[in-house]
Structure 1
Amino acid sequence: MIDKIAWLHLVDGRILSTRSRGKQAYYLPGGKREPGETDEQTLVREIREEVTVAIAEPTIRPAGAFEAQADGKAAGVVVRMTCFTAEYTGTLAASSEIEEIAWLGYADRDRVSAVDKLIFDHLHQAGLLK
């Protein structure tokens, strides 16, 4: 099991996504926790590292957990994505590990990882992702 944290940031029916250097698929911003970190601490650190903004910690809200086959891993290796929403300060920008930031809609579902597809489906059914 790969345990990850993700930030769901939607604007006008599109969701913020990132593409790492050398990768084709887009992923929701976030990542793995370091030893001793809470979900919230992981979210704050990963978002600062990936898209250079500061998450406003008092605004962090749980947004669901999703599990699917991990991209690029052996069959049966599952990723669990625990998602949060939150407000932020700063200007979104790709960090050194991120090649591109993109605003994706539901029509872009085929461009994201398996677990992100589940999240896209959930957000689309809730009327949040157009």
Structure 2
Amino acid sequence: MQRVTNCILLNDDKVLLLKKPRRGWYAIPGGKMEQGETVKESVVREYREETELNLKNPSLAGAFTFSIYQDDVLVHEWMMFTFFCTDFAGELTEECNEGELEWVPTADIKNLPMAEGDRKIFEHVLSSEEVLYGSFFYTDDYQLIRSRLDPSRS
């Protein structure tokens, strides 16, 4: 099972997001863990590789499984560890191989094109300090089928 890490970096009521070119969806910067890394080491390294920013003391905000189905058959599954951080050092790169980096006001996040699971993650992480656990089930074209979250959101 593939493992990925990412981090919601909040600064001056804005979050740094990555606009992916393939779908035009916004995502949380991060990437694949390397063998032997801790999740915290991975998020710091991945974030620096994509943004040139060094996260300071990121904290785990959520752990999730993602299952992708094609015609009711599981075709891909991965785990994602999402961190939250408000402190960083460095200057944001002007070029990112993964897409366009953009500081987005937190109030605007709910209106951006993104995976529906990410929307649920943002809603929780930006309003609670409690760690969120969840499972997301998608079609192979990334339409959310269902999700389970703990703690659940009303």
Q: Provide the TM-score with structure 2 as the length reference.
A: 0.64
Any unmatched runs of 5+ in structure 2?
130-154
Any unmatched runs of 5+ in structure 1?
none
Of 34-43 and 76-85, deviating more is: 76-85
Determine the C-alpha separation between the residues in 2 that align with 1:17 and 1:9.
9
Alignment of 1:117 with 2:119, yes or no, is: yes
Letter of the structure 2 residue corresponding to residue 62 of structure 1 = L
Which is higher, the Rg of structure 1 or of structure 2? 2
Q: Tell me, yes or no, if the aligned pair for 1:79 and 1:115 is still in contact at 8 Å.
A: no
**Percent of aligned pairs with the same residue?**
26
The residue that corresponds to 1:60 in the other structure is: 58
Deviations along 1:52-85, whole A, 9 cap, x unmatched? 11223xx232212234455xx7464444321123
Determine the C-alpha separation between the residues in 2 that align with 1:37 and 1:121.
28
The answer to which structure, 1 or 2, has the higher relative contact order (CA under 8 A, 6+ apart) is 1
Corresponding residue pairs, total: 123
Tell me which protein shows more strand as a share of its residues.
Answer: 2
Determine the C-alpha separation between the residues in 2 that align with 1:32 and 1:48.
13
How has the CA–CA distance of structure 1 residues 94 and 68 changed in structure 2, closer, same or farther, with 3 Å as cutoff?
A: farther
How far 1:32 sits from its partner (Å)?
Answer: 1.2
Deviations along 1:1-36, whole A, 9 cap, x unmatched? 542211111134332210234441111011110111
Query: Secondary structure at the residue paired with 1:91?
Result: coil
The residue that corresponds to 2:88 in the other structure is: 88
Letter of the structure 2 residue corresponding to residue 82 of structure 1 = F
Query: Secondary structure at the residue paired with 1:118?
Result: helix
Tell me which protein shows more helix as a share of its residues.
Answer: 1
The residue that corresponds to 1:108 in the other structure is: 109
Query: Secondary structure at the residue paired with 1:116?
Result: helix
How has the CA–CA distance of structure 1 residues 15 and 68 changed in structure 2, closer, same or farther, with 3 Å as cutoff?
A: farther
How has the CA–CA distance of structure 1 residues 66 and 80 changed in structure 2, closer, same or farther, with 3 Å as cutoff?
A: same
Of 73-82 and 28-37, deviating more is: 73-82
Determine the C-alpha separation between the residues in 1 that align with 2:26 and 2:12.
19
